[in-house]
Amino acid sequence: MSVALQLILQLAILILAAKAAGLVSVRLKQPAVLGELLAGLVLGPTLLDIFHWPLFTAPQTTEEIVFELAELGVILLMFMAGLEVDVREMLHTGRTAVIAGVLGVIAPLILGGLASLLFNYPVSSSVFIGLILTATSVSISAQTLLELGVIKSREGLALLGAAVVDDVLVILVLSIFLATIGSSGAGAIAGVIVRMALFFVIAVPVGLWLLPRLTYRIERLPISEGVVSWAIVATLLFAFAAEALGQIAAITGAFLAGIFFGRTRLRHEIMTGMHTIAYAFFVPLFLVSIGLKVDARSLNGAAVIFMLAITLIAILSKVAGAGLGAKLAGMRWSESLRVGVGMISRGEVGLIVASIGLQQGLIDDSMFVSMVMMILLTTLLTPFLLRRVFPHKTSATAKEIAHGDKLADVSD
Amino acid sequence: MSVALQLILQLAILILAAKAAGLVSVRLKQPAVLGELLAGLVLGPTLLDIFHWPLFTAPQTTEEIVFELAELGVILLMFMAGLEVDVREMLHTGRTAVIAGVLGVIAPLILGGLASLLFNYPVSSSVFIGLILTATSVSISAQTLLELGVIKSREGLALLGAAVVDDVLVILVLSIFLATIGSSGAGAIAGVIVRMALFFVIAVPVGLWLLPRLTYRIERLPISEGVVSWAIVATLLFAFAAEALGQIAAITGAFLAGIFFGRTRLRHEIMTGMHTIAYAFFVPLFLVSIGLKVDARSLNGAAVIFMLAITLIAILSKVAGAGLGAKLAGMRWSESLRVGVGMISRGEVGLIVASIGLQQGLIDDSMFVSMVMMILLTTLLTPFLLRRVFPHKTSATAKEIAHGDKLADVSD
């Protein structure tokens, strides 16, 4: 079988499996991402081992190509995450979101890192595990809050704001960590800081000034799918520059490109086109690729214990950190608990950070499996726990909802 | 530099170069595809040789990955070509389109094959060169006719219909050729016919009956970008089955999938999504990849003479074949000439067929370059010649246009 033909069949199987499993997951009232991850686990070395089927006899394996397509999926995903960040709105969401977001990053970073050290992992791995624990996926919580009819409550809005603050912080901490790791000595670290600074000094004016002007210019030119194609090119260039020039992760560049394009008036058009490209093709490949990369059978007894312990810490540290932040910002204890619970779910950003750790050799296969399992478990538990701590829509009186809305409107 | 980072930069450069060159081409009143091909030639081994820049130091070359992405671009392009074929309308366009389309395939096939034999090429290569000459790209002509305001004239409509007939025939002849090549002996050929028949016996009922039902079902399911993603999966599966089961080209399967999806009421939605995916990312990569694959410096004196001769034959055989067809169907000589001239341009389908020939070893590098040059030249000449043979909009009287419209409306 030729390489092209083999790739065609594998892509069809992988996307079909991801979408079908995602559907089953949604039908079972679980997030689609859960099914897509499990589809990857089933098709990967853990069970079916798709890349080594006797059917596939191309002289060269197509595994590498699938993983590179998955990488492009990560870039697009981070671009879209950036596109959804409204910096001005974020700054206006105010104290609650910022304090909850910041403490929601610090607590898991420290507690996750310490726990990993207790399990005798090396310092760099331990810090990285803490870093994976800092991520928050707000989409699962947002969906649950929508279902419960409390998305516009004071807690709901604080939660959404805190999750965005969290995203930005995770990317920032990851970038600093990746830039400084392996560098020792004041000179090397100074060099790293200079390069990071250089990247931002070039990227920010380009993104704020040149990029919107170019985008509006391109919009008026006779180029087929010009704006979306340009958004892809610019995102790839930002991703490249972040890593090659700034020595920070490529995803940081993609995220930044998203923020810049999100400030243009073509945000909606770009989002629509990118959403199709990402979710119809690249993102399902990224989500299954997670499972394709790991052999869950590599989880031995000790690893399972670590996995359960780190999941517990992931949950407690996020609830405590973000919850305490909300309390410090003046919320009641019950409200603070809801904010904390809403931020438990890790999800895509956690998966992306974990993948980078595996790639860079900062965590090994078995730790990666534990991290994926932790992300799965927190994502599974979040809607369940949220329904417990939030008053149900059906039980909430009209007055309560109106009250919540009113509070939400005046929340700073 | 890591493989992923290298790929990111190369993709950004390739897409940017394709789109920019396409724009310059359009500004110079030439088709965008011309600029995109030239961008590939410049970035390829002929001049800049992008894959071997000293900057790119990844342990593994990314050339293969770019070419596989280009292959996916071809699949998507053929899918969209199929999506635009309306079988019922095609059958109703009637005699003129069918006769012009059929003779417009037969004449270049025979004359191109004979000319290649005269140049001492082996039989299989000669037949294949004839096959490349059969292709027609109607988009360039359609655009020119639109500009001239004569797209709805009798000749305009016949031309559009004939080009579709031509597309279907080229795919059919290519499929038969690829299926039978290398098979000798009655038994082997019978085997090939059985497999082709088996493919169609399975694919046609699936495409006519099962595919629309599944598509409508998926439309109602909670799957992100479900319909477009499903169209991609189904297209990949049809492409795979065509080659693996039917031993015909994968693009035939993709083309067929396009025809089947084109019959559903979701045609427009699928077209919109696929258009973004194809033209914002994959198709520019395909168009530059043509130039990346060839070293135009491999054209020696003999090859240049062959190239010029085959271009002349490509033009004359199409004008004569399609023109004679139109005349036989009852058009006047001047009208027949216009139909013939409108079909000169080869374009994407020609490029795709030529790429397959190179891949299968049916034509060598220097013949491939000649074919690409022939396609470029015919594409460049078509708008120029069309403007000569059609009465200009400005010179055409209102009466003439009304007459053309009336004739067009009643054309069987």
At A397 the pLDDT is: 43
Sorting pLDDT into bands at 50, 70 and 90, what band is B32?
confident
Of residues B390 and A212, more confidence is placed in: A212
Cα B176 from Cα B233, distance rounded (Å)? 25
Name the band, by pLDDT with cuts 50, 70 and 90, for residue B136. confident
SS3 for A220?
Answer: coil
Per-residue burial over B156-192, b if 16 or more Cβ lie within 10 Å, else e, is bbbbbbbbbbbbbbbbebbbebbbeeeeeeeeeeeeb
Q: What percent of chain A has pLDDT over 70?
A: 93
- Residue B216 belongs to a domain: yes
Flag if A229 and B281 touch (Cβ within 8 Å). Answer: yes
Q: Are A149 and A408 in contact (CB under 8 A)?
A: no
B74: nearest CA partner in chain A: A4
Residue B114 C-alpha, separation from nearest chain A C-alpha, in angstroms: 31
Report the chain B residue with the minimal C-alpha distance to residue A227.
Answer: B280
d(CA A120, CA A105): 23
- Report whether pLDDT(B132) > 50: yes
The CATH number linked to A344 is 1.20.1530.20
Per-residue pLDDT tens over the stretch A281-312: 999 999 999 889 888 887 888 889 999 999 99
- C-alpha pair distances (Å), B195 with each of A302, B175, B242, B260: 54, 12, 10, 21
How far apart (Å, rounded) are the C-alpha atoms in residues A381 and A340?
13
Angle, CA of A387, A393 and A398, to the nearest 5° = 150
pLDDT band at B348 (very low <50, low <70, confident <90, very high): confident
Query: Chain A partners of B3 at a C-beta cutoff of 8 Å?
Result: 64, 68
What does the angle CA B96 – CA B100 – CA B105 come to, to the nearest 5 degrees?
155
Tokens found for residue B198: 């088996």
Is position B126 within any domain? yes
pLDDT given at position A93:
65
Question: B286, B67 in Cβ contact below 8 A?
Answer: no
Query: Tell me, what's the pLDDT at B408?
Result: 33
Residue-wise pLDDT tens digits, A141-186: 877 787 788 877 888 888 888 887 888 888 888 888 887 776 666 7
Cα(A32)–Cα(A21) distance, rounded to whole angstroms?
8
Please indicate, yes or no, if residue B239 is contained in any of the structural domains.
Answer: yes
Q: In this structure, what token pair is assigned to residue A119?
A: 């399990």
Q: Which residue, among A23, A57, A221, A224, would best test binding to B if mutated, counting the most B CBs under 10 Å from its CB? A: A224
Least confident range from A79-93, A107-121, A260-274: namely A79-93
Q: Are A314 and A108 in contact (CB under 8 A)?
A: yes
Please check whether residue A46 lies inside any domain of the structure. no
Say how far apart CA A398 and CA A123 lie, in whole Å: 52
Reference B108, options B118, B120, B116; nearest CA is B116
CB contact under 8 A, B9 and A236: yes
Q: Which residues of B touch A275 (CB under 8 A)?
A: 225
pLDDT of residue B400: 42
A389-398, B167-176, B357-366, B380-389: least confidently modelled range:
A389-398
CB contact under 8 A, A7 and B229: no
Pair of tokens at residue A106: 């610090």
Can you give the pLDDT at residue B403? Answer: 40
Over 70: is that where the pLDDT of B380 sits?
Answer: yes
User: Among candidates A204, A215, A209, which has minimal Cα distance to A241?
Assistant: A204
Q: Which residue's entry shows tokens 């770019």? A: B66
> Does residue B20 belong to any structural domain of this protein?
no
Q: Tell whether the model's pLDDT for residue A190 goes beyond 70.
A: yes
Q: Quick one: how far is CA B90 from the chain centroid?
A: 18
Question: Which residues of chain B lie closer than 8 angstroms to A19, CB-CB?
Answer: 223, 226, 229-230, 233
How many angstroms separate the CA atoms of A69 and A72, rounded? 5
Amino acid at A177: F
Q: Does any domain span residue B63?
A: no
Q: What is the 3-state secondary structure (H, E, C) of B360-394?
A: CCCCCHHHHHHHHHHHHHHHHHHHHHHHHHCCCCC
Query: What is the tally of structural domains in chain A?
Result: 1
Q: Among A71, A232, A279, whose Cβ lies nearest the Cβ of B280?
A: A232
Does residue B227 belong to any structural domain of this protein? yes
B206-247 pLDDT tens trace? 999 999 999 999 999 999 999 999 999 999 999 999 989 988
Q: Hey, what amino acid is at A94? A: G
Q: Length of chain A, please?
A: 412
User: Residue A261 is part of which domain span?
Assistant: 78-280+299-410
* pLDDT for position B268: 95
> CA nearest B17 in A: which residue?
A233
Q: Report how far apart, in Å, the C-alpha atoms of B326 and of each of A261, A288, B162 are.
A: 52, 54, 9
Q: At what angle do helices A333-342 and A154-180 cross, to 10 degrees?
A: 50
Question: Cα Rg for chain B, rounded, in angstroms?
Answer: 21
Cα separation, A224 vs B283, whole angstroms = 10
Chain A residues in contact with B32 by the CB 8 A cut-off are 222-224
Give pLDDT, residue B401: 39
Whether the predicted pLDDT of B302 surpasses 50:
yes
Average pLDDT of chain B? 87
* pTM check: above 0.80: yes
Query: Is the distance from CB of A195 to CB of A246 less than 8 angstroms?
Result: yes
Which of B3, B8, B32 faces A250 most closely, judged by CB atoms? B8
What average pLDDT does this structure show over A214-220? 96
- Cβ atoms of residues B353 and B170 within 8 Å: yes
Identify the band that residue A383 occupies on the pLDDT scale cut at 50, 70 and 90. Answer: confident
Spell out which residues of chain B touch residue A243, defining contact as CB-CB under 8 Å: 5
pLDDT tens profile A222-263 = 999 999 999 999 999 999 999 899 888 888 899 899 999 999
Q: Does residue A260 fall inside a structural domain?
A: yes
Q: What is the rounded CA–CA span in Å between residue A64 and residue B62?
A: 10
Dump pLDDT digits (tens) for B57-98. Answer: 877 778 999 999 999 999 998 899 888 877 776 666 678 888
Residue B205 has pLDDT above 90, yes or no: yes
Neighbours of A312 (CB within 10 A): 13
ipTM for the assembly: 0.86
Nearest to A404 by CA among A163, A146, A149, A201: A149
Contact (CB, 8 A) for B187 and B237: no
Question: What's the token pair of residue A368?
Answer: 């990666």
For residues A55-67, average pLDDT:
86
C-alpha–C-alpha distance, residues A404 and A282, integer Å: 39
The pair of three-digit structure tokens given for residue B315, joined into one six-digit string: 């033009």
Nearest to A68 among B22, B65, B273 (CB): B65
